[in-house]
A = this chain, B = another copy of it.
Amino acid sequence: MEFEPVTPVRAYERVVEQIEEAVLSGRVLPGERLSSERDLMVQFGVSRSTVREALRVLQAAQILRSRPGDPRGPEVLAASPAALHKSVRHLTRARHMGLGEVLQFRMLLEGSAYLLAASLRTSAQLDEMAAALEAMRADLGTSEFSRADVAFHDAVARATGNPMIVVCGEVVREVVLELIEDKLVHADDRHALMRSSLAHHTEVLAAVRDGDGALACRLGRQALYDYYADYVPEEGLAKLRPLIGAET
């Protein structure tokens, strides 16, 4: 006979569980409204303080949003990567991860995304990538360049047809930029970097177009390494090297 350690479950947790389950299971859809706090406290049979603490937790997790004075009640939000973003940021601040780890994950993710996209992309998605590349070429040196760069990588991620790849890619890209933004300004040869990056992207796109996933994967990872390696401390670089040059 085995017993489990008993944990007292707070009232507000039960409320969180029920609402969370209703949202995640799709029983209530994004955009829909919950009852007002005063209604919920009747439905759950708890006080308003308890309801409010539960709602706070759900709001912090980006599952709900409340506005004062809105007679329609708390709004159910669409799932967003904001919470994921925050968790990753916290871990980087706590030194559990550095640029090395985040970049490692990005290389892993985008490399595999190229591999998949080379086989799975539709021609419309290929056009999107080409359009983004054109935008990069046109706006070389401006802030529009990074926007187009993001659009390119996003199109690749979407071509995999996998929402998690899209979302994780998005988050990991943002965090990489946050981690290097202070060192990024005084790059006197940014223009050369961008030109080099553009050339890399062009090669990768060609490989994706040709359906050569392995090549696209290798090129894409190499491009990331070349672009960001200077910002990564030595002990972080060791984590990146197995991802480049390798057959995979």
Chain A interface residues toward B at CB < 8 A: 8, 12, 23-24, 26, 49, 52-53, 56-57, 60-61, 63, 68, 78-79, 81, 83-84, 86-88, 90-97, 101-102, 104-105, 108-109, 111-112, 115-116, 118-120, 160-165, 167-168, 172, 213-214, 217-218, 238-239, 241-243, 246-248
B91, A167: Cβ atoms under 8 Å? Answer: yes
Q: Complex formed: what's the CA distance from A33 to B169 in Å? A: 34
Q: Complex formed: what's the CA distance from A81 to B12 in Å? A: 23
B93, A24: Cβ atoms under 8 Å? Answer: yes
- 17 A-B residue pairs with Cβ-Cβ distance under 8 Å, sorted by A, are A12-B56, A49-B49, A56-B57, A57-B60, A63-B90, A79-B94, A83-B90, A86-B87, A96-B163, A97-B164, A105-B164, A112-B248, A115-B243, A116-B239, A119-B242, A214-B246, A247-B248
Between A57, A95, A108, A118, the greatest number of chain B beta carbons within 10 A of the residue's beta carbon is seen for A108
Known: A81-B96, A84-B84, A90-B79. Is A213-B164 also a contact (CB below 8 A)?
no
Q: Complex formed: what's the CA distance from A57 to B61 in Å? A: 9
Q: Complex formed: what's the CA distance from A98 to B178 in Å? A: 32
A213, B60: Cβ atoms under 8 Å? Answer: no
Q: Complex formed: what's the CA distance from A128 to B3 in Å? A: 28
Q: Complex formed: what's the CA distance from A94 to B180 in Å? A: 31
